[in-house]
Amino acid sequence: MLIDRYLLRQTILPLLIGLAVFMVILMSEVALRLGEALLGARVPAVMLGRYLWYNLPHVISWSLPVGVLTGVAMVSTAISRNGEAIAARAGGMSQRRIWLSLFGIGLLASAAAFALEEYVVPESNQRSHEALRNLTHRQPVLQARDQQAFRDQQGRIIYVEHMDAKTNRLQGVMILEEDGEARLTSLTAARLAELHGEHWVLRDAVHVSFDRYGQPVGAPQHFQTRATTLWEALQDYYLDQRSEFEMTTREMRQAARAMEVGGLDAQRMRVRLQFKYSMPVACLVFALVAAPLAARYAHLGSFVGIVISILVVFLYNGVRSWGLAFGLVGELHPIAAAWAQNVIFGLLGLWLVWRAD
């Protein structure tokens, strides 16, 4: 309809302004962290630019809710103060119908933010960290640890004598497989293992099978190289080098399951996973809250939309921060911790829309 196209055109500019302002704030934080990491170092401007460029997708996805909030609030204020909303209602259009297109903008922005977080941000953040490691001359993948034992999702027990962070190799690897009654069925021992893509390649290894009485079956099998899936129990050392912002939701679910199988606390990962889902929804929630609030208080001045944007962001972020804190320490279920702010402000927005004339 004509009103929808008109509101869309009017929303684009303030949305982009709000998006740009918040992007500048977030990018300044990125630049500050980079400055602390490179204190006193001289690095090429191209490498610095590459690092900042790879951070852009994440910054955009986190800035989109603020852009939507600013755009919707300012447009709702403008059409109320200029009498356009009154004219539309005089023509038989309800206030809720006027806001419908603004809510649609919030919904589309939520979908765009989630798509960025799921399909673009993980890879771009990995590249940004690679760029940072190139700047700081740090080596990725493994943490240097000795005598580590894990149980993977398949139930195998994996022992590693040494994890070499310099060469990204596992030294002294043993893989023990058991049956349903915890009896040893096979043992694979390798001098070292190297990561190739998603698989670890065992080198200079031997494999021995056992019967139900623990006696070797046949002669030991020797092999020079053999690819194996050590699953997340060992690849967690690779994943641990990545934050949740470098993982897709699928990878985060796998990492959480692997931690639980290995007897580790997966609360933190579960909370971060739920925030991966909940943060994009803030675009729609902000649209629900901003449109009726800005219309209600439009008589106070042209800049009431900006004031409302600041207040909503401040309060929303406060609830989000408390939910995150309580979730990470295990005081809240991951779903409650990640979705509390959306539920609270979403219900507030729905109540304001319902109360509208």
Query: Could you tell me where the beta strands, DSSP code E, fall in 199-257?
Result: 199-210, 216-228
Determine the pLDDT at residue 326: 95
This model's pTM is above 0.75:
no
Q: Quick one: 122 exposed, middle or buried, by C-beta within 10 A (0-12, 13-18, 19+)?
A: buried
Number of Cβ within 10 Å of residue 4's Cβ equals 15
Distance CA 151, CA 156 (A): 5
Residue 138: pLDDT band with limits 50, 70, 90: very low
Q: Quick: pLDDT tens for 275-318.
A: 999 999 999 999 999 999 999 898 888 788 889 999 999 999 99
More reliable by pLDDT, 316 or 52: 316
Distance CA 2, CA 219 (A): 81
Distance CA 2, CA 129 (A): 46
Comparing CA positions, the residue from 142, 153, 148, 143 lying closest to residue 231 is 153
Per-domain boundaries in the chain: 2-137+267-355, 145-240
Mean pLDDT for all residues in the chain: 83
Both tokens assigned to 122: 């993980």
Q: Quick: pLDDT tens for 202-253.
A: 888 898 988 887 788 888 888 888 877 665 555 444 444 456 667 788 888 8
Distance CA 295, CA 209 (A): 74
Comparing CA positions, the residue from 222, 217, 341 lying closest to residue 277 is 341
Q: Quick one: 150 exposed, middle or buried, by C-beta within 10 A (0-12, 13-18, 19+)?
A: buried
Determine the pLDDT at residue 38: 56
More reliable by pLDDT, 273 or 169: 273
Cα 110 off chain centre by: 14
Instruction: Indicate whether 165 pLDDT > 70.
Output: no
Measure the CA dihedral 279/128/33/35, to 10°.
Answer: -150
